[in-house]
Structure 1
C-alpha cells in the first residue's frame, strides 16, 4: 500500500469500506485512478463477530471474479443448487433448481465476514489505493473542479483531502448524505431480522429455504461447513423478547417458524438484530458527490437483493470511471451512470417492497390467491425458468 498523500491528489474518494464501497475500490485496483478509501471503524479482530451470510447471484459471483477477490472466497462459499419457497400455514410452494438453467448452481452463499476480509486484503494490496482507517469524515465542500473533505484520523489528527469525485458508500445512516443535505424517504416495516447460525439434523443439500410468515420471512442459507445462516424476521414489538430467549428456546421458536424439513435445529450461534426499513435517498448525486449502496436505498431482505444490487452498481460505476482518462466527477459521466442504473434500482425496490406488502398483509382473499399463484408457478416450467434466471442474475448489466 502506498503512503497516504496529504494534498489535492485523488481522483476518487470512497467514504465507507463496507462490502459495496470496498467492492468499488477493488474494481478500481490497478487502474489509472488514484483512490482513497475512508473508513471509521477498524476491521473486527474476530470474523465470528459477524454471523451474517450473503446470497450471491451468479452474476455477482462473476463480478467478484473480475475484481480479483473470488479466489479467496471460493473455499468458504457454498453453492445454492436448489431454492424452496413456501408460506407458513398455506398450501403451495415453489422449487427452483440449477438444472432449469443447465448450470451447476443458482448462486453462492458466503459468510459476510469472509467477504469483507477478502475485499480489504485486495484493496490494501493495490498500489493505487490508500486505505485511511480509522478516519471519520467531518466536513465537505465542493467547487467546479473538485470536492474537498476534512477527516478526523484519530491519533494523527485532522487532514484535508481533495478529489475529483466523492462516493458515499457509508451505509443507511450516511454521513456523506447528511453533509450534502440530501433527505430520505423512510418506511418502517415494523419487523426486525434476527440473524444467527444453526445446524439441522438433516444435511442442507445445498438448498436455500425461504418461508414467508405473517410477521415476516424466515430464510435459511447453506454454509460450506454444513451449518446454515438463519434470518428470522419478527414483529419489532417482539424482537427484544425473542433476542432474550435461551438458546434451546430460540431453537424451538426457529424450528416452529421454519418447519421441520431439516429436522430440529441445533447449535444456535450468537444472535444479531437488524430493524427493517425501506430507506430511499431523495437523490443519488449532488454535484461531484455520488451515493452508492445502502446510502441510496436500504431494502427489505426478503429477496436477498440488497448487496447484489449494490455490487452491480459499484461494478457499473467502476466501468464508467475507467472508460477513458477524463474527469471522474464530470457531470456527463455521472449522468450516464445514473441513466443506466436507475431503472434497475427502481425495479429492485418495487420488488422487495411489494413482497413485504403481499406476504405480510392478512386478508381473506389475498392469502388463498398467494397460495394459488405459488402453486401455478411451481407447475409451470417456463415461469420457473424465468424466475431462476432472475435469481441467478443472468443477463444483468453491470459494466464491461
Structure 2
C-alpha cells in the first residue's frame, strides 16, 4: 500500500499554498506530499469577464513574496489604493489610503483562476504529486497516521492528513468534528460589473439598510461586486434581468463610478460564521474554510487561512518530532489562536454593526465612521486590521 508523509485533501488555493510553503523543506527532508483534488486544475490561464476573485491583504502579499510567488501573481493583481467606507443615507464616511499607511497598496484583488494558475505552476513535481480528479470517501485513523480511501477504490496512507476541502466538508462531519454555526440570514450576491468611469484603484464598502456591499477594483477596469442582502431578496435580485438588476444596484451604490452598464454572471452564497470545534488531532489538521468560514464583507477569510497555512508550514518544518505528533500540532494552533480570535471577532462585529437597522446602532456607526476619519490612531488600527497586519511597530 502506498504511503506518503503528507496528504493534503483539497488542492484549491489553501491546499496548494500549503504545498508551496512546504515544498523546499520537504525536499530537504525527503518528504512526499500528495494533493488530492476532485476538480482538475487548469494547465493554462483563460481570462474571463466573469472570473471569481479574492481580495488579498497587504499581509498576504508579504507571505507570497516570501514564497517567491508574488511577481507572478502581481501580473494580474489590481492594487487597492484607497478604500471608501460609507453608510447610505447618512453623512458619516471614512477614507483609507495606501499613501497614508506607507504601503504600495492596501490590498489587491486577484482572479481565483490566476492565483490558482500561479500556485500550480510553482509546485515542484518531484516533491508534490497530484491525485486528480480524485475524491477521498473515507478516512481511518491509524496509530501513526491515516488511511484514506479514494473514489477509485485505491487507498493511501499518510503520516499527516490536512483537511482543506472547504466549508461544507463532508469528511469533517464523518470524523465527528463538530462545528459552531451562526447563520446571518443573508446571502452574498457575487458578480463582476463595468462602469462608465475608471475605478482608479478605489474599493468601496457601502452599508445600506438591507445589507452591506463591496465594490472592489479588478483588472481590465472591471469591479467585483459582493452584495449582501436578506436571503429572499438576494434570490429576487438573482432572477432580475440585467437592466433591472443594474438599476437597483445603481440606486443602492450611487454614482461614484458613474453609470453601471454591464453585469456578468451572478452567483448566490448563503452566509454564516462557521468554526470547527477541533482544528487538530493526532496526525490531522483542519485548515481553510473547513476550519473557519467568515462573512465576506470584511475580506478577511482567505487572508486568515493563508496566515494559518504559513504558520502550520513553519511549525512542521521547525519540529524534530515525528510528523503529525499532537503536541507539535497543538503548538501551531496555540500560536494562531489569537490571530483567529481577533480576525473572526473583527469580521463578525463589523458584519453585525453594519447590517443592523436599529436606530441607535445606525447612529452609532455613523458617528464611528466620522470618528474613524478624524482620529488618526483609530483609522490606523482599522487600516492595519484590513491589511492583515499587526499593530504598527513603535
Q: TM-score range by the shorter chain?
A: over 0.9
Task: Tell me, yes or no, if the aligned pair for 1:220 and 1:228 is still in contact at 8 Å.
Answer: yes
User: Partner of 1:31: helix, strand, or coil?
Assistant: helix
| Equivalent in the alignment of 1:144 | 143
Name the residue aligned to 1:56.
56
Instruction: Quote the Cα distance in structure 2 between the aligned partners of 1:175 and 1:129.
Output: 24
Residue 338 of structure 2 corresponds to residue 343 of structure 1: yes
**1:121 corresponding residue in structure 2:** 121
SS at match of 1:384: helix
1:13 — aligned with what?
A: 7
SS of alignment partner, residue 219 of structure 1: strand
**1:71-110 correspondence runs (5 A):** 71-110=71-110
Q: SS at the partner of 1:385?
A: helix
1:134 corresponds in structure 2 to: 133
Distance of 1:256 and 1:174 partners within structure 2:
38
Kept in 1, the 8 Å contact 2:300–2:386? The answer is: no
What's the CA shift for 1:48?
A: 3.2
Judge conservation of contact 1:55–1:107 (CA < 8 Å) in 2: yes
Q: Could you tell me the TM-score, scaled by structure 1's length?
A: 0.92
Query: CA shift at 1:325, angstroms?
Result: 4.7
Counterpart of 2:41? 43
Q: How many residues in Structure 1 have an aligned counterpart in Structure 2?
A: 386
Measured in 1, the distance between the counterparts of 2:290 and 2:209 equals: 29
What secondary structure sits across from 2:25 in the alignment? coil
Distance in 2 of aligned mates of 1:7 and 1:126: 17
Q: Which residue does 1:177 correspond to in 2? A: 172
Deviation at 1:369, TM superposition (A): 1.3
Q: For the residues of structure 2 that align with 1:270 and 1:97, how far apart are their CA atoms?
A: 31
Q: Note if contact 1:180-1:286 (Cα within 8 Å) is conserved in structure 2.
A: no
CA distance in 1, matches of 2:331, 2:56: 26
Range with bigger deviation, 61-70 or 262-271: 61-70
Which residue matches 2:194?
Answer: 199
- C-alpha displacement of 1:117: 1.8
Q: How far is the alpha carbon of 1:49 from its aligned partner?
A: 8.5
* In 2: Cα distance, 1:15 partner to 1:50 partner: 27
CA contact (8 A) 2:57 2:106 kept: yes
In structure 2, what is the Cα distance between the partners aligned to 1:216 and 1:51? 24
Deviation at 1:165, TM superposition (A): 0.6
1:394 is displaced (CA, Å) by 2.9
* Further displaced range: 173-182 or 304-313: 173-182
SS for the counterpart of 1:225 is helix
Kindly report the root-mean-square deviation, in angstroms, between the aligned alpha carbons of the 2 structures: 1.8
Question: The residue matched to 2:354 in structure 1 has which SS?
Answer: helix
- Distance in 1 between the 2:222 and 2:49 partners? 16
Query: Is 2:307 aligned against 1:312?
Result: yes
Pick which of 88-97 and 35-44 moved more.
35-44
Residue 50 of structure 1 deviates from its aligned partner by 5.9
Q: Distance in 2 between matches of 1:50 and 1:149?
A: 36
Which stretches in structure 1 are left out of the alignment for 5+ residues? Answer: 1-5
**What does the per-residue CA deviation read over 1:91-142, in whole Å, with 9 as the maximum and x for residues that have no partner?**
201100112222221111111221122222223x431011111111111111
- In the TM superposition, residue 330 of structure 1 has moved relative to its aligned partner by 0.8
Cα shift readout 1:353-387 (whole Å, capped 9, x = no counterpart): 11222121221211111111110110112221222
Q: Kindly tell me: are residues 260 and 189 of structure 1, through their superposed partners in 2, closer, same or farther at Cα, counting changes over 3 Å?
A: same
Whether the 8 Å CA contact 1:147–1:163 is kept in 2: the answer is: yes
Q: Distance in 1 between matches of 2:49 and 2:247?
A: 24
Q: Tell me the secondary structure at the aligned position of residue 376 of structure 1.
A: helix
> 2:206 maps to what in 1?
211
Q: Corresponding residue for 1:295?
A: 290
- Cα distance, 1:245 vs structure 2: 1.1
> What do the CA deviations read for 1:130-163 (whole angstroms, capped 9, x no partner)?
11111111111112211111111xxxx3211111
**Distance in 2 between residues matched to 1:317 and 1:136, nearest whole Å:** 24
Out of 339, 354, 357, the residue aligned to residue 349 of structure 2 is 354
Out of 251, 264, 267, which is 2:259 matched to? 264
Q: Which ranges in structure 2 are unaligned for 5 or more consecutive residues? A: none
How far apart, CA to CA, are the structure 2 residues paired with 1:271 and 1:116?
Answer: 21
In the TM superposition, what is the alpha-carbon distance from 1:43 to its structure 2 partner? 3.1
Deviations 1:223-281 (A, max 9, x none): 12111111111110112211111111111111112121111112211111111111111
TM-score, normalised via structure 2 length:
0.93
Residue pair 2:192, 2:265 contacting (<8 A) in 1 also: yes
